[in-house]
Amino acid sequence: MTSTKSRFSRFWTRSGRMGVSAWMMAVGALITVIFVAIALFSPLFLAWGWIQSPTEFLANPVHSPPAPQHWFGTDRQGYDIFSRTLFGTQVAWKVVLLATVLSLATGVPLGLVSGYLGGKADRVLLFLMDTIYTLPGLLLSITLAFVVGRGVFNAAIALSIAYIPQYYRVVRNHTVSVKTELFVEAAQAMGADTWTVLSRYLFLNVIRSVPVLLTLNAADAVLILGGLGFLGLGLPPETPEWGHDLRLALEALPTGIWWSPLFPGLALTSMVIGLSLLGEGIDDWVNPQLRSRGGRQK
């Protein structure tokens, strides 16, 4: 009887945690897909005349509350907040995806080669990446934004440099542990060259944790991009970007203009939550042993 109860308890705990993981992944994926759809269809809405241009000044009214003509109202510059919120999604995806691709394309190969070959180059790279990793992402991005200047591509570069060490460290550590496995040593004994070992035997084994890191970094990048915009860095002022719009909106908040910061803030927060939930759900799915260990501890 005790054994049956114990088995049922373990099964219930694991199933419950699996259910939570599936719920997080499903909700995160749904929110992410919604924001992807908004980014894709916003130009079509503009072309069909359903929304106004996010950079079109409205002579009247300024600081108008939400109404049928302007669903989210207008800001102090006369911009339509609904249009800028929609196109802010597109701008966020452009910068975040470009930043994650750049950091992924740089950090993963460096981690593979560094972990596999070792030696002095590995020690130098590890020291350099650890140094960059210790710097706060927002502070580093602010410094780089001053250096590279404004623009979508420049903002992506500033963000990507902050994330390269994370991909490097994860991939390098996995490579160091996997390269001593028997199947890698067998491939080396059969005469496989370095490129073959890296691409065929190591890459697929060390890349499993990268999707988790990618989604979590994307969520963090949305926040940092918003921070750069709030500080007046990253993108030109006329660009529909949530952080920049929040900075302008907060100046009018004491006068009772509540709608101006509300909708860009909700959009930014929702996108970050969606990507974070998706990343956590994928993490539980990719690393089930961590979930089961947590279940046993409870």
| Nearest partner of 284 among 269, 294, 298, 297, judged by Cα | 294
Task: Give the SS3 label for residue 187.
Answer: helix
- Structure confidence by residue, pLDDT tens digits, 142-158: 888 888 888 889 889 98
Burial (CB < 10 A; 0-12, 13-18, 19+), residue 268, is buried
* pTM to 2 decimal places: 0.83
Q: What percent of the chain has pLDDT over 90?
A: 32
Q: 132 versus 69: which is more confidently predicted? A: 132
The residue among 166, 137, 174 whose CA lies nearest residue 279 is 166
Domain boundaries, the chain: 19-297
Does the pLDDT of residue 15 top 60, yes or no? no
Tell me what pLDDT residue 31 has: 95
Instruction: Give the dihedral of Cα atoms 7, 11, 17, 20; nearest 10 deg.
Output: -150
When the candidates are 3.40.50.300, 3.30.70.20, 1.10.3210.10, 1.10.3720.10, the CATH number that belongs to 19-297 is 1.10.3720.10
Confidence bin at 118 (pLDDT 50/70/90): confident
